[in-house]
């Protein structure tokens, strides 16, 4: 089954404790992206990657890191989480048509709470 | 710069009635357009997309959308809604340079 797998689904952590949210896709998609979803603010892009070893900042990259060492994996790293990073996070992947995104497949989401 | 506007934040409609969710975009170049649905506690699911060709696009669950280039719109329609269509719907646009913009979403509430 074609899918994007995120783990964990739920995470409660303390301020300053490094964490990683994993994302993996099995569709051989070139493009992968992380979004956060907050009430009233919609979906905001954190980082994206067009291919292995190629990443770029989205609209809200501060406080986050990513890496793309393999095509299928795109982990999101919070080096020192803060309460304002409490949010619902989604990983998504897509084929590319030139530089246009062909249509996302989303993961099920990770609900992160930082206390 | 691209932008996407979903004019209605909430749309209540009675079961079996028709519904239209509005989406307008702005872009100086050709675009791909998308609608997604998000059910409670789930990720987003692609409903339909316009890439090229026919301006009337049919998607899953009986939804359809029409691309109107002159009005820069991509409204989503369904002739008869069900309770199970209650969800949040997002319009999105992609126009190259790896950018993908989502609208702020429209909550569809289907009433019995």
Averaged pLDDT, A39-53:
93
Query: What pLDDT, on the 0 to 100 scale, is given for residue B28?
Result: 75
Q: Which residues have a Cβ under 8 Å from the Cβ of A19 and sit 6 or more positions away?
A: A11, A13, A77, A78, A81, A112
Chain B, nearest residue to A31 by Cα: B98
Averaged pLDDT, B45-57:
92
Asked if A105's CB is within 8 angstroms of B46's CB, the reply is: yes
**pLDDT-derived band of residue B41, with 50, 70 and 90 as boundaries?**
confident
Strand spans (E) along chain A: 4-7, 10-13, 19-25, 31-38, 42-51, 54-57, 65-66, 76-78, 87-94, 96-97, 100-101, 105-106, 110-114
Rama region for A26: left / alpha / beta (φ>0; ψ in -120 to 50; rest): alpha
Chain A, nearest residue to B30 by Cα: A100
Query: What pLDDT, on the 0 to 100 scale, is given for residue A7?
Result: 97
Contact of A85 with B19, CB cutoff 8 Å: no
**pLDDT-derived band of residue B34, with 50, 70 and 90 as boundaries?**
very high
Question: Among positive and negative, which fits the CA dihedral B45, B79, B22, B93?
Answer: positive
Q: Give the pairing of strands B106-111 and B10-14.
A: parallel
Averaged pLDDT, A76-80:
97
> Tokens 């934040």, residue?
B9
Over 90: is that where the pLDDT of A102 sits? no
Chain B neighbors of A90, CB-CB under 8 A: 43-44
Q: How long a stretch of residues is chain B?
A: 112
Over pLDDT 90: what percentage of chain B? 75
Q: Which residues have a Cβ under 8 Å from the Cβ of B9 and sit 6 or more positions away?
A: B104, B105, B106, B107
Over 90: is that where the pLDDT of A71 sits? yes
When the pLDDT of each residue in chain A is averaged and rounded to a whole number, the result is 95
Averaged pLDDT, A83-104:
93
């Amino acid at each position: 089954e074609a899918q994007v797998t995120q783990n964990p689904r739920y995470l409660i952590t303390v301020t300053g404790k490094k964490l990683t949210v994993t994302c993996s896709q099995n569709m051989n998609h070139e493009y992968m992206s992380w979004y956060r979803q907050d009430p009233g603010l919609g979906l905001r892009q954190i980082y994206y990657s067009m291919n292995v070893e190629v990443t770029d900042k989205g609209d809200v990259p501060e406080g986050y890191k990513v890496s793309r060492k393999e095509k299928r994996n795109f982990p999101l790293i919070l080096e020192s989480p803060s309460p304002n990073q409490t949010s619902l996070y989604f990983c998504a992947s897509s084929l590319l048509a030139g530089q246009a995104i062909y249509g996302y497949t989303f993961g099920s989401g990770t609900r992160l709470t930082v206390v | 710069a691209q932008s996407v506007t979903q004019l209605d934040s909430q749309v209540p409609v009675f079961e079996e009635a028709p519904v239209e969710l509005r989406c307008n975009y702005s872009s100086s170049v050709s675009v791909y357009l998308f609608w997604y649905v998000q059910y409670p506690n789930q990720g987003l699911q692609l409903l339909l997309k316009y890439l090229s060709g026919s301006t009337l696009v049919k998607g899953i669950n009986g939804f359809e959308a029409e691309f109107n280039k002159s009005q820069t719109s991509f409204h989503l329609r369904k002739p008869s809604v069900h309770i199970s269509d209650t969800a949040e719907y997002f319009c999105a646009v992609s126009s190259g340079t790896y950018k993908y913009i989502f609208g702020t979403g429209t909550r569809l509430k289907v009433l019995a």
